[in-house]
Amino acid sequence: MVKPNCDYCGCVVPQRQGHINRARKKGLPLYCDRKCAGLGRRKHKTVEQKKKEKKAYDILYRKNNLKRLATEKAKYFQRTYDPAKAAVERKKRMPSHLEYCRKPEYRAKKQKYDEIYRTFGTVRVPQEFKEIVDLQKQLAKAVSTRDGRR
């Protein structure tokens, strides 16, 4: 009887006839050796494709196990949290945080935030209310420049 060829490299499969019959009956691929079997089972996906699939899997996994993961994380935090150690870690970030606070874009944002907070006592106000603060500021500026000319 003619021996079949390896499904990976194409060489003759040196398996016993019983093995070949069993594989054919189940529709399984045949390989000449373990090396070809390993290579033949590869999906030939690119690294990018694998990363994409893993990302999609992780999103789904987190969504399906959200409750359990959250409680486990909370338990881990309670078990391992050391206030003194955490304070030291926080202090390490202080210089970069100060640098961040000195940025002009942050200062502008913070100034606007503070004005809204001072006016309304909260920042959870509708957008049109926030715009009123801007208008008031413009009005005050206009009045002061007009008064300055007098």
What's phi and psi for 20, nearest 5 deg?
Answer: -65, -45
Partners of residue 12 on adjacent β-strands: 5
Q: Restricting to residues 111-130, which ones interact with Zn ion according to CB under 5 A?
A: none
The single-letter code of the amino acid at 138 is Q
CB 6 within 8 A of CB 13: yes
Between residues 8 and 116, which has the closer beta carbon with respect to Zn ion?
Answer: 8
The single-letter code of the amino acid at 100 is Y
Instruction: Report DSSP state, residue 93.
Output: T
CA gap 64, 55 in Å, rounded:
14
Q: Least separation, in Å, of the C-beta of 61 and Zn ion? A: 36
Our finding on whether 13 is near Zn ion (CB under 5 A) is no
Q: Which stretch binds Zn ion (CB under 5 A): 8-16, 75-83, 90-98, 112-120?
A: 8-16
CA gap 65, 21 in Å, rounded:
44
Could you tell me which residues come within 8 angstroms of residue 145 by beta carbon, excluding any fewer than 6 positions away? Answer: none
Between residues 7 and 115, which has the closer beta carbon with respect to Zn ion?
Answer: 7
Q: Least separation, in Å, of the C-beta of 44 and Zn ion? A: 16
The single-letter code of the amino acid at 96 is S
Question: 3-state DSSP call for residue 10?
Answer: coil
Contact pattern from residue 23 through residue 62 relative to Zn ion, giving x for each residue in contact according to CB under 5 A and a dash for the rest: ---------x---x--------------------------
Among 3, 4, 5, 9, binds Zn ion (CB under 5 A): 9
Between residues 40 and 130, which has the closer beta carbon with respect to Zn ion?
Answer: 40
Q: Least separation, in Å, of the C-beta of 45 and Zn ion? A: 21
- Residues within the interface to Zn ion (CB under 5 A): 6, 8-9, 32, 36
